[in-house]
Structure 1
């Protein structure tokens, strides 16, 4: 088992990095590693790991759904609320019907079995869509109209509907499952079909209500009573509660555990934004590991051997379901909205990826003896192989072409930006104090440091001394020592802009006020002309 975990983590990580360097989504490399390690090819994963694959995938999906909840924007959702709700029902429902009709025509399945196949294929993949939408939000694509938020919310609601429909149809089609038995509700005898609306309302309503309650409990424990000491412990506690919701939903299927997890993150933003910000960073770190486990195990679960006889027909079913059924649903979902034609077109790459749900339930019809179960399994595997990498590539590729860029709200998403600090030093003893200060700042923000010396007098020994002091004081920090020449203030500003520095740190001598001592000095000139923040380190005498 430990050997399998090593294979998953190391090969999954490097497979993702190789794909990334080839300008291909990292998940493609991870899925390919899973296929190679899985029982279909290399058979390098132990039975214990394969048996635990569903549970491990559940943990990974919980992490990404919490990230989704922590990234939702209430104002944008209010702006696009009806669109988000329609995206949660219409595209998937239209796709299910289109697939059912196509499956009866091309595959010879009866209509109910075609609907079962449609419910499997109609579910959208949070593992692909959520990180892609959060990435778009961090870059500002589509944020002005709340397009990523609408897609995130609609995707979660869509999966609730598809899983309910799948459970209902499976109860009818599985031999001996008792699908025609009556279900009792408050003394009334209702068939499973009539119970479906109540189940949908319960799954969504109870999921949101439980998410609201858990969010209040977490704020009480973590923000008001301070039961934790750092952000890592915050993330651990919240992940535990979120996983508890998912487990309870499996044991008591009256609410959607995944929707409840998203609701926890959403309400945490509203109740305590500083706590949400800390959790956002914590779950970003958890996702770094969870995505490797998720996509490698996803690849290992794909049944390659069942694709040989069905791949062409399966592709046709997927194409008709997406291009006819789902496109019709997208049209009605955005009808009357303020979305432009290009923004509506973005739903094709942005809202079509399938992976996680298909891997979880694709084999269940075959296991329950449903006629045509082997065909369903084959097409579910094909949908993962085709749409997951295609969606992961298409979303960042077409977003700049189809969406408009708006202002990023850093209170809702983690904005990835490397911090580079420029320390401008001369050959005086003040250089030590500047280097000490910039080292302190870099350790707080995990920044890189650019140490700059503008040569005014050609003194090789002095420059060597500066390089040695930089190496000594910045030994545990990524840094670069460079020299340049020219007018000192202009050289500092130009170098900072060339290297993408975020702040400039420079020293000043004397104990008088900065207004008295810096008129006409290098420090004052940098302060006056710099477009970047400048930190001035005052000389301290021993």
Structure 2
């Protein structure tokens, strides 16, 4: 068990990083590691770990849905409410129907069995779509029209719908018919009950999420039961998981929708708490995504793909391009989305992974005719669409979406901060390095220390290098020495290194220097598009932002 955990974490992490270096999504590397470690190839995972795979995947999906809820924007949802609602029902439903019709032709399924397959294949993957949309929100792509928010909400609603239809069809096929409901003289069939079940699952899911958000605010913000952000995250994750587990024991509400709604209501009830929890769940996702995608790869049955590969690819193509494509068109009809934004739904709203991994083997285990083919199609949909979706979302967003202003109160902006410190060999260099060290530790930033050589300067460079090494000992830094015109070299290096801020010192004490901030500082303030911080020799700091 422990060796399996070590293998999953280490090999999954480095497999993901290797995929990134090859310009592929990290998900691809993690899934491949899972295939190699899984029973189909290397068989290096313990039976206990494989038995826990479904539970671990559930925890991972809970984490990513809470992140999604904490990243939703009420104003953008209000703006795109009708589109989000239609995205929650039309694309998935029409894809499921298209898949059912194709399965009748390709595999000679009856319509009920084909629709069972359609419900599995048509479900969207929160494990791929949610981090992809949150990444777009953190970069500003499509945020002006709320496109990532509409896709996030629609994805959650569509999975509620398809999971309900799946459970109904499974009972119908396994038991020869699904039970209805009789109240007095009124009898309703299972099919007639379906709309009521959908409304109940969604309504109670939202209500449970709102109630849980109030409980979390009371425990963590008003009564102060916790002292750190880690403790906040522990309590919130445990209660969110309680919602998911409760929904399986009491299937009258959607646990996943309740978790996502909890995060959404937390933003409305207590924005500072939501911000703290957003950071905690970012950390949890770092671990959860490795388990999710490695175990996803381990669950894929490669052997069942051989005989149905080409028909399966045709089925996926028809389901996505015709069924889901028609759903996208109807969902965005009359909206303010332009043609390029509508086209983005193809890469942004097609990925399959989590639901397919969880449900793919269920029909086979229940003895449903054609269960082996259903399992093969579920595995194929993961192998084809999950890597493509994870790659296509960040690739096509800059080409198809407009970039807007990022709202840091709604999403974590994860980026590597680089600070450029321009220093000379005078005494002010120590103050500049001390200030930049303080800022770097506060923001976990990387520091580039730049020294532009002046006349007869080289003897002092080694002392400056040693001083840099001592003051920035615990900070990622790079020491660069160059020649040329000082302000021009500072701006050039800042651009090459991708710096977000420039810090330099001011030695002058005269009234004229006080007015001008020195010639170099004045030039940078007049020309730099980056913020410029000037450290004065009297231990005073002047912060000026270039226009």
Please give the TM-score of this superposition, normalised by the length of structure 1.
Answer: 0.94
Q: Give the distance between the partners of 1:438 and 1:16, measured in 2 at CA.
A: 32
Query: What residue number does 1:127 align with?
Result: 127
The alignment partner of 2:534 has SS state of strand
- What are the superposed Cα offsets for residues 58-90 of structure 1, whole Å, 9 maximum, x if unpaired? 011111111111111111111111111111111
In the TM superposition, residue 469 of structure 1 has moved relative to its aligned partner by: 0.8
Query: What residue number does 2:273 align with?
Result: 275
Q: Give the distance between the partners of 2:391 and 2:16, measured in 1 at CA.
A: 13
Query: What residue number does 1:64 align with?
Result: 64
Alpha-carbon distance change, 188 to 327 in structure 1, aligned in 2, over 3 angstroms: same
Query: What residue number does 1:53 align with?
Result: 53
Written as runs of structure 1 = structure 2, the 5 A alignment for 1:306-385 is 306-385=304-383
Query: What residue number does 2:113 align with?
Result: 113
Aligned length: 539
In the TM superposition, residue 533 of structure 1 has moved relative to its aligned partner by: 2.3
Asked if the contact 2:450/2:479 (under 8 Å) is kept, the reply is yes
Query: What residue number does 1:157 align with?
Result: 157
Q: How well do the aligned residues superpose, as a CA RMSD in angstroms? A: 2.2
- What are the superposed Cα offsets for residues 113-170 of structure 1, whole Å, 9 maximum, x if unpaired? 1111111111111111111111222222222221111111111000000000000111
Q: Give the distance between the partners of 1:415 and 1:308, measured in 2 at CA.
A: 43
In the TM superposition, residue 519 of structure 1 has moved relative to its aligned partner by: 5.2
Choose 295-304 or 485-494, whichever is displaced more. 485-494
Q: Give the distance between the partners of 1:512 and 1:240, measured in 2 at CA.
A: 62
Give unpaired runs (5+ residues) of structure 2.
Answer: 540-547
The alignment partner of 2:89 has SS state of helix
Q: Give the distance between the partners of 2:413 and 2:58, measured in 1 at CA.
A: 26
Asked if the contact 2:168/2:178 (under 8 Å) is kept, the reply is no
Give unpaired runs (5+ residues) of structure 1.
Answer: none
Asked if the contact 1:352/1:391 (under 8 Å) is kept, the reply is yes
The alignment partner of 1:99 has SS state of helix
Asked if the contact 2:506/2:517 (under 8 Å) is kept, the reply is no
- What are the superposed Cα offsets for residues 452-503 of structure 1, whole Å, 9 maximum, x if unpaired? 2232232333111111111111111111122233444444344333322222
Choose 324-333 or 267-276, whichever is displaced more. 267-276
- What are the superposed Cα offsets for residues 195-226 of structure 1, whole Å, 9 maximum, x if unpaired? 21111111111111111111122222223333
The alignment partner of 1:480 has SS state of strand
Q: Give the distance between the partners of 1:162 and 1:533, measured in 2 at CA.
A: 50
Q: Give the distance between the partners of 2:528 and 2:305, measured in 1 at CA.
A: 61
Query: What residue number does 2:40 align with?
Result: 40
Q: Give the distance between the partners of 1:519 and 1:327, measured in 2 at CA.
A: 60
Q: Give the distance between the partners of 1:198 and 1:492, measured in 2 at CA.
A: 66
The alignment partner of 2:307 has SS state of coil
| 2:2 is the alignment partner of 1:2 | yes
The alignment partner of 1:409 has SS state of coil
Alpha-carbon distance change, 336 to 8 in structure 1, aligned in 2, over 3 angstroms: same
The alignment partner of 1:531 has SS state of coil
Choose 357-366 or 517-526, whichever is displaced more. 517-526
| 2:33 is the alignment partner of 1:29 | no
Choose 360-369 or 320-329, whichever is displaced more. 320-329
In the TM superposition, residue 272 of structure 1 has moved relative to its aligned partner by: 2.2
Written as runs of structure 1 = structure 2, the 5 A alignment for 1:472-511 is 472-509=470-507
The alignment partner of 1:423 has SS state of strand
Written as runs of structure 1 = structure 2, the 5 A alignment for 1:267-306 is 267-306=265-304
| 2:419 is the alignment partner of 1:421 | yes
The alignment partner of 1:174 has SS state of helix
In the TM superposition, residue 426 of structure 1 has moved relative to its aligned partner by: 2.5
In the TM superposition, residue 9 of structure 1 has moved relative to its aligned partner by: 1.1
Asked if the contact 1:175/1:368 (under 8 Å) is kept, the reply is no
Query: What residue number does 2:96 align with?
Result: 96
2:258 to 260, 264, 267: 260
In the TM superposition, residue 305 of structure 1 has moved relative to its aligned partner by: 1.2
Q: Give the distance between the partners of 1:186 and 1:174, measured in 2 at CA.
A: 28
The alignment partner of 2:24 has SS state of coil
In the TM superposition, residue 411 of structure 1 has moved relative to its aligned partner by: 2.1
Asked if the contact 1:504/1:533 (under 8 Å) is kept, the reply is yes
Q: Give the distance between the partners of 1:207 and 1:250, measured in 2 at CA.
A: 12
Query: What residue number does 1:11 align with?
Result: 11
Q: Give the distance between the partners of 1:367 and 1:7, measured in 2 at CA.
A: 29
Alpha-carbon distance change, 60 to 239 in structure 1, aligned in 2, over 3 angstroms: same
Query: What residue number does 1:195 align with?
Result: 193
Choose 427-436 or 291-300, whichever is displaced more. 427-436
Asked if the contact 2:508/2:518 (under 8 Å) is kept, the reply is no
Choose 210-219 or 408-417, whichever is displaced more. 408-417
Alpha-carbon distance change, 506 to 397 in structure 1, aligned in 2, over 3 angstroms: closer
Asked if the contact 1:64/1:126 (under 8 Å) is kept, the reply is yes
Query: What residue number does 1:396 align with?
Result: 394
The alignment partner of 1:505 has SS state of strand
In the TM superposition, residue 288 of structure 1 has moved relative to its aligned partner by: 1.5
Q: Give the distance between the partners of 2:68 and 2:81, measured in 1 at CA.
A: 16
Asked if the contact 1:234/1:279 (under 8 Å) is kept, the reply is yes
Query: What residue number does 1:466 align with?
Result: 464
In the TM superposition, residue 268 of structure 1 has moved relative to its aligned partner by: 1.5
Asked if the contact 2:68/2:134 (under 8 Å) is kept, the reply is yes
Choose 391-400 or 259-268, whichever is displaced more. 391-400
- What are the superposed Cα offsets for residues 151-192 of structure 1, whole Å, 9 maximum, x if unpaired? 11111000000000000111111147xx34333569954322
In the TM superposition, residue 509 of structure 1 has moved relative to its aligned partner by: 4.8
The alignment partner of 1:308 has SS state of helix
Q: Give the distance between the partners of 1:17 and 1:519, measured in 2 at CA.
A: 45
Alpha-carbon distance change, 271 to 512 in structure 1, aligned in 2, over 3 angstroms: farther
Please give the TM-score of this superposition, normalised by the length of structure 2.
Answer: 0.93
